[in-house]
Amino acid sequence: MSKKKKPQGVMTNRSVRNPHQRTRPDLLLKEQNYILQISVDDLAFMDKYRVALAAGAARFAEIYYNYLFDHPEISDVLYAHERNGGDISDLVRSELQFMLGIFSGDGAARESELNQVGAKHSARGIRPVWAAGAYRLFLDFLRELIMDLDITFAERNRLESVILKLVLRDLGMMSDGYWCTRLDEYRDEFKQVSAQYECVEELLAGLPHLIWSVDVKRNQVTYANYPLHAIYSNKLESPYPFLADAHAEDQQQLLTVWQEAVNGIGSSTEIRMSLVDGTEHWYRLSLYPSLSRRGRSGQVYCLLEDINTDISERKQLEQLSTTDSLTRLPNRALWGDHMKMALAASRRVPGSQVVVISLDINQFKMYNDTLGRKLGDVLLREVAKRLDSVVRESDSLARLGGDQFGILLQPVNDARTAAERVITQVLDSFDVPFTCADKQLCVSVTLGVSCFPDHGTNEETLLTNAESAMYRAKRNGLPFQFFDPGSDVSPATQLHYSGQIQSALDNNEFELHYQPQVDLVTSSITGAEALLRWRHPTEGTVLPKRIIPVAEQLGMISPITDWVLVTALRQCKDWIYNGSSVPVSVNVSARSFQSPRLVDKIQWALQEAGVGGEQLEIEITEVTLMMDLERAAEVLTRLNDFGVTVAIDDFGTGYSSLTYLKRLPIHTLKIDQSFIMDVAFDKQDIAIVRSIIDLGHNLDYKVVAEGVENSMALDMLNSLGCDAAQGFHISHPLPEEQFSSWLSTSAWSV
Ligand code: C2E
Ligand code: MG
Ligand code: MG
């Protein structure tokens, strides 16, 4: 902007006066006299009447007082003057004197006086119209005075005309004082604001950001800081001068945030921009709307900052904190977030379930140790790739650490079916060997599954339970297992019992209860099942479903099995000694069955108790047998060799294939109690039980029904041709002494 030349000299009717420029006082008087045509003659004429007119001033005082106090805008000023310690009477008197001074001959003195009054009025907030009002009253008053003067008509006319000119000059000069004071004030303010503006402008120009403001109504840039000007000076008619450089994919987002800002909602977004060198940079655009009274935005203040370095670092950090560096799969933290979102989505759809799978590479330690860590890493990467190829994109695969992976399935209606589908695909994909450093490696995996909401309602529990199921599957030698609250023990429970089991053995806190088995044809007692109990010092009797899984997971099951075998066989010896030859059944868990020393231990226990093998039956589940059929066959055959019989416990709940039956030396099928409970009236249970009995008899096995709770079930089993029964209806499991007396008093014969 070019500066205007300061106006010089007297303002003439031909020259244009710069209103920002004060006129020199002496020149102003001349100027006023000139414009109002006040001549020296006029002033001399006026002099003749000055005394006569001033004499009537006392009467004007009253009119003037009334005028001042009748108008609140003025009276308020007077009262404020008084409140600030001033004297109202003095102030009014001086104002009156000032009015009457209109007839003084000294124009210059009058001018300076008028200027000061104008300045004072300006400072007090009294607008010039109040002075005009006072002068209007004064003129009326003077006209009356003039009427009383004994002068000619022409003289009266001239006197009135001169007075009018003097009044107008007074008003003009007073307004000038008012206006000049205001001007000075504004000039001072302007100076201050300019200094601040320059400071802010310098600051904004020095910032590396682009800063601008937009008038929303006109949709135009109203301010642009220097860097924005330097780059986009020719595009400032648009709210987004940089729009053409923004990445096409980000433009919609830019429009969205702009619309929000127009509606009065400030926000920010991250966008990419192409730079001159063709590279792309990240920027953050922040919009701050200033609201009009109607809630719409009047101005929008905009800030565009380069966040390329931050964002690259952030994105890198984000990636580091959420990705497994070896496999590039999400890590446990990110997977946890995925799980959280899946659970939230599932909660919104009643009846839907989320599947959480924990997967572990079998024998990975062995590969790592023999191939070396580097090749171990290669193997992990290959496994990740293979898993990635079978997991759907909508589902989530992660490396949870070491050789453990996680698979999360999005909400489904039938969790079991969905899980089995994925598990089958995963297991099938591992049929093909891995090539690692020219070696063909056959790798297998074990999976554990938990489902939301049945097996837990938060991420941690679901993962822990999936892991528990996986460890149980490993122990049982199965490729996968679903979480089972009865079999899988939470880490908290494990921790709770970890130190206590050994001391329970040492302190003789375990005991066996015996439950009889009776022959339904001969009504004789054919055996007794030994069932473990823990007389816990603080928790009372702890049942085996709590003890066995913990002991298995803590690796404490073998000493317990040893103790049960020895105790049960000693008891059996006692019964024989007391004239009741009742064979005893002992449950052998999967882990115990896998123990290479099991047969030796049984043999030793038989010897130690001094009873023959035919006094012992071991109960194992189908799952236990299926873990290693070859080995199972070998163990059972050896046990058979010295007369020990084998019962399949909980028959019907385990494995669906029955081919193992013909390959193993089995003697008894114990039908699981879940089929027996309602067998008296449930047609399906009757059909199942009948089939199992037929199957057992066809294979020459004895068939025993577990969980017989009433006589109706017993009658039904009798009519179905079941060989033997066990259950509360016959007897609850009883401690040793009670069982002995039951033997001697029972209606069932020994
Ligand atoms: P199991 O071998 O199937 O034992 C039968 C279970 O059914 C026992 O539960 C018994 O008390 C219960 N029972 C018997 N008759 C009835 C009845 O009429 N109605 C109902 N509702 N239940 C009946 P318990 O003693 O709690 O044992 C549970 C499981 O723990 C056993 O199932 C067995 O698998 C395991 N177990 C028990 N003792 C030992 C042991 O010494 N070693 C091992 N490894 N497992 C054991
Ligand atoms: Mg049993
Ligand atoms: Mg059973």
For the CA of 531, the nearest ligand? 1
C-alpha 652 to ligand 2 mean position (Å) = 14
Which tokens sit at 292?
């009009």
* Long-range pairs for 140-148: beta carbons < 8 A, 24 or more residues apart: 141/56, 141/59, 141/60, 141/63, 142/53, 145/52, 145/53, 145/56, 146/53
Quick one: pLDDT at residue 602?
97
Q: Which ligand is nearest to the CA of 651?
A: 3
> Which ligand gives the minimal distance to the CA of 514?
1
Ligand 1 atom with minimal separation from the 561 CA? 42
Identify the CA nearest to 396 among candidates 427, 361, 354, 367.
Answer: 354
How many CB atoms lie under 10 A from the CB of residue 288?
Answer: 15
- pLDDT score recorded for residue 656: 55
Higher pLDDT, 9 or 605: 605
Q: Which atom of ligand 1 is nearest to the CA of 592?
A: 44
Which of 4-13, 462-471, 484-493, 565-574 is predicted with the least confidence, judged by mean pLDDT? 4-13
Question: How many residues would you count in the chain?
Answer: 750
Tell me which residue has its CA closest to atom 20 in ligand 1.
707
The set of protein residues with a Cβ atom below 6 angstroms from ligand 1 is 515, 531-532, 543-545, 548, 564, 587-589, 619, 649-650, 673, 706-709, 727-728, 733
The continuous run of DSSP H or E covering 396 comes out as strand 396-401
**pLDDT, tens digit (0-9, with 9 covering 90-100), for 656-674:** 567 778 788 999 999 999 9
Note the pLDDT of residue 8: 29
- CB distance 530 to 556 below 8 Å: no
| Residue 531 CA, closest ligand 1 atom number | 38
Atom 37 in ligand 1: which residue has the minimum CA distance? 531
The atom number, within ligand 1, closest to the CA of 515 reads 14
- Average pLDDT of 486-508? 79
Q: Is the pLDDT of residue 518 over 90?
A: yes
Instruction: Tell me which residues have their CB within 5 A of the ion that is ligand 3.
Output: 649-650, 706
How does the average pLDDT of the chain come out, rounded? Answer: 87
Q: Which of 117-126, 206-215, 636-645 has the lowest mean pLDDT?
A: 117-126
Residue 24 has pLDDT above 70, yes or no: no
Residue 13 is predicted with a pLDDT of 35
CA distance 299 to 212: 10
Residue 488 in this model has a pLDDT that exceeds 80: no
Determine the distance separating the centroid of ligand 2 and the alpha carbon of 293, expressed in angstroms. 82
Higher pLDDT, 274 or 310: 274
Domains of the chain (ranges plus CATH)? 25-185 (1.10.490.10), 210-315 (3.30.450.20), 325-493 (3.30.70.270), 503-744 (3.20.20.450)
How confident is the model over 709-720, as pLDDT tens digits? 999 999 999 999
Question: CA-to-CA distance for 180 and 128, rounded, in angstroms?
Answer: 13
Q: How far is the first Cα of the chain from the last one, in angstroms, to the nearest whole number?
A: 122
Which ligand has an atom closest to residue 543 CA? 1
pLDDT in tens, 343-377: 999 998 889 999 999 999 998 988 888 888 888 99
pLDDT exceeds cutoff 60 at 12: no
Of ligand 1's listed atoms, the one at least distance from the Cα of 512 is: 41
Gap between the Cα atoms of 395 and 410, Å rounded: 6
Q: How confident is the model at residue 297 (pLDDT cuts 50, 70, 90)?
A: low
- Cα(495) to centroid(ligand 3), Å: 27
Range of lowest pLDDT (19-28, 149-158, 201-210, 324-333): 19-28
| pLDDT at 11 (0 to 100) | 29
pLDDT tens digits along 25-69? 667 778 888 888 988 888 888 888 888 887 777 788 888 888 888
| Interval 534-554 mean pLDDT | 88
Closest residue by CA, ligand 1 atom 7: 707
Ligand 2 centroid from CA 529, angstroms = 7
pLDDT of residue 293: 60
Q: Using the atom order of ligand 1, give the atom closest to the CA of residue 619.
A: 2
* pLDDT tier for residue 735 given thresholds of 50, 70 and 90: very high
377-412: pLDDT as tens digits: 999 999 999 999 999 888 999 999 899 999 999 999
Query: How open is the CA angle 375-376-377, to the nearest 5 degrees?
Result: 85
Question: Atom 30 of ligand 1 has which residue's CA nearest to it?
Answer: 544
Name the token pair of 570: 């000693």
The pLDDT assigned to 2 comes to 33
What is the H or E stretch that residue 357 is in? strand 353-361
Higher confidence at residue 627 or residue 134?
Answer: 134
pLDDT tens-digit readout, 154-188: 999 999 999 999 889 888 888 888 888 888 888 99
Ligand number nearest CA of 654 is 3
Looking at residues 441-449, what average pLDDT do you find? 94
Tokens standing for residue 279: 């590279």
* C-alpha 649 to ligand 2 mean position (Å): 5
Task: Tell me what pLDDT residue 15 has.
Answer: 39
Given this model, what pLDDT does residue 17 score? 45
> How remote is the CA of residue 553 from the centroid of ligand 2, in Å?
20
Indicate the top mutation candidate among 587, 617, 670 to test ligand 1's pocket, ranked by most ligand atoms within 8 A of CB: 587
Q: Residue 593 C-alpha to ligand 2 middle, in angstroms?
A: 14
* Out of 205-209, 534-538, 567-571, least confident range: 205-209
Please identify, by atom number, the ligand 1 atom nearest to the C-alpha of residue 728: 18
C-alpha dihedral, 56 to 61 to 66 to 68, nearest 10°: 130
